[in-house]
Structure 1
């Protein structure tokens, strides 16, 4: 892990908060979208229960996927501030490279 500056710790905290908030919003949206047939069609009994299980599953998977994706992308860009991390990347602004 190494030593992190206060700015780096703050950035991680903000990114985790962002991931959780957007994950919850996505989960709520997916649940409402998937559970809408229960309200619109007036389903009852086993059909309603099945639709709600599918809605809850979709919401949970959406939440987990969103949080993982946001944090994965943040972690992949965390090394960008290190001078040795950018050395092998041709095509950076101000540099010429065979793929630019």
Structure 2
């Protein structure tokens, strides 16, 4: 069974997935640090509160990660020139 995608299209998809995962990881890490660091470094919170803030920061980071991956991959339309830019058109745009 042959694939209808070219090697370039498969490579483009692989790169897009890698970009989505790496950018989502970086954004999630920044989110976690931005929420958790002030609680650890600047505020004198009791241990239970600090732990709660860390759990909340982790949960928010997971949400940011998932949203970023979905956002990047949902917007991916394939390699340039492989699909029309407007629905209903039958030929690829120049």
Normalising by structure 1, we get a TM-score of 0.74
Aligned CA distance change for structure 1 residues 87 and 20 (closer, same or farther; 3 Å): closer
Q: Tell me the residue number matched to 2:54.
A: 52
| Pair 1:22 & 2:23 matched | yes
Normalising by structure 2, we get a TM-score of 0.79
TM-superposition CA deviations, 1:34-58 (whole Å, max 9, x none):
1022221132311001100110011
Q: Tell me the residue number matched to 1:88.
A: 88
5+ residue gaps, structure 1, are 94-100
> How many correspondences in the alignment?
87
Aligned CA distance change for structure 1 residues 6 and 42 (closer, same or farther; 3 Å): same
5+ residue gaps, structure 2, are none
Q: Please provide the CA RMSD for this pair.
A: 2.5
Structure of higher RCO (CA pairs closer than 8 Å, 6+ residues apart): 2
